[in-house]
Chain A
Amino acid sequence: MKITRVLKAVAAAGALALFLGSAAQAVTLNLGNGGEPGSLDPHKVSGDWENRVVGEYLEGLVAEDANAEPIPGQAESWTVSDDGLTYTFKLRADAMWSDGKPVVAQNFVDAFQRLFDPKTAAQYAYLQYPIKNSSKIANGDITDFNELGVKAIDDKTLEIDLEAPTPYFIEALTHYTAFPIRKDVIDEFGDQWTQPEHIVGNGPYKITEWVPGSYIKGVKSDTYYGKDDLKIDEIVWHNTEDLTAALNRYRAGELDIMTDFPADQYQFLQDNYAGQAHVAPFLGIYYYVLNQSKPPLDNVNIRKALSLSVLRDVIGPDVLGTGELPAYGWVPPGTGNYEGEQYLPDWSEEPYDQRVEEAKKLMADAGYTPDKPLKLTLRYNTNENHQRIAVAIADMWKQIGVDVELFNAETAVHYDALQSGDFQVGRAGWLLDYNDPSNTLDLLRTGTKQSDGTINWGNNYGRYSNPEYDDLMAKASTELDLAKRAGLMHQAEKLAMDQFAAIPIYWYVSKNVVSPKIQGFSDNAKDIHRVRWMSKSE
C-alpha cells in the first residue's frame, strides 16, 4: 500500500517534470535551407535561400500569407489614386524594430534611396523600377535622391509615386528589395551591420547566430506586433548544399523541412515517407534558347521542326522523375493578372509520330535529312538534370536529321556565352520575380540600343526580335484595364510562340519535404513559406 503510494508520487513527479521540461523547451524549426546566404542585407541578396532568412527578420509594407498572397504587413492599410500612380500607406502604430524603436515612414524612404543608390550596387534594384525616377537615380542621371517617388508624409504615412500604373506593384512590395532598413545602424557599422551583434530587424524573428558554411539561427522577436501568434520559438536555417547528406539528416530527424531534394530519391520518399515530399507547380519555365541572330536558327521552319520533335511528356515523369508538367507556352499556368485561356498550340495535341513526320518534312525542305544532318551545338550548364534532358532531346532530334553536339560548362561560363550570343542552342530557366505575365514576356522583347551603338539584349539570349511583339508589350505596359492588358499580352505570347521564339520544355515545380510534425506549410506557386504561419508538434 505504502509502496504504491510512493510509486504514484514518483510517477506524478516524473510526469510533472516531463511536462515542465517540454513546456520550457523552445520549439525549434530546423530548416534545410539549400545554399549558403551570401548576405543578409536586403539590397545585396539574390537567392530564395537568402529570402528565407531575410524575410523572417525584416518585413515590408506588404507581407505574405500562408499561400504567399500579399497581406498588410508593416502598413495596416493603403489607398491608390484613381490614375493608379500614387499609393499612400498607413503604417501600423505598433510596428517596432528589434531594439525597441518605432518603425517610421522615413525607414522606408532611407531603404529605397539606398536601394537605387549606384554606390549600393543592388543587383535586383530593377524590380522596383516602377517607382518614379528610380531607374534614373540608379543609372546616375539624377543625383538628388529627394526626387525619388518615395516620400514620408509623417512618421506613419508613406507616399509612393510610380512612373506608370503597375498592377503588380503591391505584390512587388512583398519582395525583399522593398524591405525597410535602419540607416543609423548601417551608418554606424558599415558592411558589418548584418552581423548578429549589430543587426536590427522589424520582422517576426531576430538573427542571433551566423556560422558561415553551417547555419544561421533566429529567435522570436519580442517587439514584433504579431509575436503572440508565433508558434515557433527558434528557426535554424541549415546549409544543405549537399542534398543527399541533407536527406540523411532529415531521415534522422535533424531537419523538419527540406526546401529541395535529390530528384532520384522522389520514388524512395513516396514509398517510405508517404505524403512528406511536396511537389507543386512553381512559377517558372525551363526552356531552350535558340540563337536567331545567325543561320541556321533564323529559319522559323527549322525552329518549328526542333520544337515539334521534343516529346515533352516524358521529360517530367521519366527523365527527371518528379512529374514536371510539359510547357508549350511562355507564361506559367497560375500566373496572376492573366485572365484568359492558356496558350496551347494545335500541334501539341497531335500524336507524336505525326509531329515527327511533320518535323522531318520541314527539315527536308530546309535541306537536311538523317543522312545529311544539320549540325547543332547544344550548351548547358553542368548539372546532372540538365545533362539528362539534353541527352534525351538530342536523341529526339537525331531522327529528324539533326546531329547534336553537347557542350557543358560551369554556370558563369555558360551564361557568359548566352549573353554574348556565342551559342546555337542553350539551356536556360526563368523563375518569376513577381507574379505577373510581363515578367516572362519581357524576356522576348528586342534589346535596347546602348550609347555605343551596340544592342543590350539583356535576358533575351536568343535575340528574338519582332516589332509587332514589342508594340503589343509596350501597349500592355500602359494599359490600365487589367482585362485589356491581359488580352494584349495573350496576343503577344501567341505571336512569339507561333514563331518558335524559344523552345519551352517544362514548367518548374517546387520540391519540399515537410515532416508530419509541421503544420501550416502550404504549397503555393511562389514557393514562399513564412514561418509565422507554421507550428510544430513533437
Chain B
Amino acid sequence: MLGYAFKRVLSAIPIVLITITACFFILRLAPGGPFDGERALPPDMIRNLRAYYHLDEPIFIQYLNYLGGVMHGDFGPSMVMKDFSVSRLLSIGLPFTLMLGFTAFIVGTAAGLIAGALAAVNQNKTPDYVLVFLVLIPLIIPNFLMANLVQLAFGVYLGWLPVGGYQPGAWTHLVLPVIILAMPHGARVARLMRGSMIEVLGTNYIRTARSKGLGTRLILARHAIKPAMIPVVSYLGPGLSYLLTGSLVVEQVFTLPGIGKYFITAALNRDYGVVLGTTVIYIFIILVLNLIVDMIYAWLDPKVRLR
C-alpha cells in the first residue's frame, strides 16, 4: 500500500514539471505582453520595466530561474498586483478558496445525498418529480445568473443576508456564495444517488430483507444506503477539485478574496507569475485529490494495487 502511494507520488513529479514548462512557454508565445495596455509606454519605460522583471534575459535563463524559485516556494513577483509577490497572494487567497470550497462540498454533498435518497424511495411519486425538477435548475441556469437572482431575492428584496463583500470573522457573507457554489455539486450528487439507490432498492437482497419483515427505515439505513453510495464516492474526488478550482464566478460576483479569479484575470493581463502560480496550485490540488481517490480504490479493490 505504502509502496503504491510512493510510486504514485513519484509519477506526479514529471506531470508537474511538464505542466509548468508547457505553461511557461505557451504564455510567452501568446501575443501581447504584460505591459500592453490602453496606452503605449515610451520605449525607455518598457526597457526599465522589462529589466525590473528580468524579462530582458534569455528565455531559457528565465525558465531556469523560475524553476529554481518554485523549488524554494517562490513564485516570483506579480506584474499586476505589484505590491504582492505571487506567494503572498496565494497565501492570502488559497486558505479562503479552500475554506469556501470545502464548506460548499460538505453542504452540497449532504443535501445531494438526502435529496437523492428521498427521491429514490418515493420513485415516480410527487416528491420524486419535485426533487428531480429542483435538481435540474442549478444544472441548467448558469451560476452567474443564479448568483444574481439570489442576491436580488435574499439581499435586495428580503434583506436577510448581505448581497456581497467580505468581513473577516462574519459568516453571513458566506451563506449565499456557499449556496451558489454548492448547488450544482449537490444536484449532481443527488442525481447519482437517486439512480444508484433505485438500482439497489431493486436488488434481490433488499427484497429478501423485506420478505423477512424488516421495516423500511431499517432496510434503508442498514442495507441500502451504503452500497448506493459507491458511485457517489467515485464522483466526490473530481467534484471537490471542481469546487476548489471553479470558484471564479462566485468570488467575482460576491467580491471574495479567493484565488479563483486570478486564474482568469491574470491570464488576460499576461501576469506570468500569477498564472503559473495558480496553475501549479491547481495541478497540486487535482493530483492530491486523485491520489486520495485512487488510494481509496486500492483499499477497496486489491486488483488496483497490483496494476
Given known A-B contacts A119-B52, A215-B166, A245-B255, A410 and B38 have beta carbons under 8 A apart: no
The docked-state distance in angstroms from the alpha carbon of A494 to that of B89 is: 50
**The residue from B45, B164, B251, B268 contacting A126, defined by CB atoms under 8 A apart:** B45
Chain A residues closer than 8 Å to B255, beta-carbon distance: 213-215, 238-242, 245
Interface size of A by CB at 8 A reads 59
* B133-164 residues at the A interface, CB under 8 angstroms: 147-148, 151-152, 155-156, 159, 162-164
Chain B residues closer than 8 Å to A38, beta-carbon distance: 78, 80-83
The docked-state distance in angstroms from the alpha carbon of A132 to that of B142 is: 57
Secondary structure dominating the interface of B: loop
Q: Contacting chain B: which of A163-171, A411-419, A517-525, A530-538? A: A411-419
Chain B, Cβ-Cβ closest to A240: B255
Chain A residues closer than 8 Å to B48, beta-carbon distance: 118-121, 138
Asked whether any CB of chain B lies closer than 8 Å to the CB of A458, the reply is yes
Interchain CB contact under 8 A, A41 and B83: yes
Most chain B CB inside 10 Å of its own CB: which residue of A411, A412, A456 = A412
Interchain CB contact under 8 A, B39 and A459: yes
Asked whether any CB of chain B lies closer than 8 Å to the CB of A265, the reply is no
The 8 A CB mask of A230-265 against B (1 = contact, 0 = none) is: 000000001111101110110110100000000000
Chain B residues closer than 8 Å to A410, beta-carbon distance: 32, 268
Asked whether any CB of chain B lies closer than 8 Å to the CB of A81, the reply is no
Interchain CB contact under 8 A, A245 and B148: yes
* B30-52 residues at the A interface, CB under 8 angstroms: 30-45, 47-49, 51-52
Interchain CB contact under 8 A, A254 and B162: yes
Interchain CB contact under 8 A, A40 and B44: no
Interchain CB contact under 8 A, A458 and B40: yes
Chain B residues closer than 8 Å to A41, beta-carbon distance: 82-83
The docked-state distance in angstroms from the alpha carbon of A40 to that of B147 is: 31
Chain A residues closer than 8 Å to B155, beta-carbon distance: 248-249, 252, 254
Given known A-B contacts A248-B155, A251-B156, A415 and B45 have beta carbons under 8 A apart: no
Given known A-B contacts A213-B258, A415-B38, A244 and B83 have beta carbons under 8 A apart: no
Q: How far apart are B127's CB and chain A's nearest CB, in angstroms?
A: 33
Chain A residues closer than 8 Å to B269, beta-carbon distance: 412
The 8 A CB mask of A1-41 against B (1 = contact, 0 = none) is: 00000000000000000000000000000000000101111
Interchain CB contact under 8 A, B32 and A413: yes
Chain A residues closer than 8 Å to B244, beta-carbon distance: none
Chain B, Cβ-Cβ closest to A140: B44
Q: Which residues of B line the A interface, CB within 8 A?
A: 30-45, 47-49, 51-52, 77-78, 80-85, 89, 92-93, 147-148, 151-152, 155-156, 159, 162-166, 168, 251-258, 261, 268-270
**The 4 nearest A-B residue pairs measured at CB:** A412-B32, A139-B44, A39-B82, A416-B32
Extra contacts, 17 of them, besides A211-B92, A412-B34 (Cβ < 8 A), are A39-B81, A139-B44, A212-B84, A212-B89, A213-B251, A213-B257, A214-B256, A215-B255, A238-B255, A240-B255, A245-B254, A245-B255, A251-B163, A254-B165, A412-B32, A412-B36, A412-B269
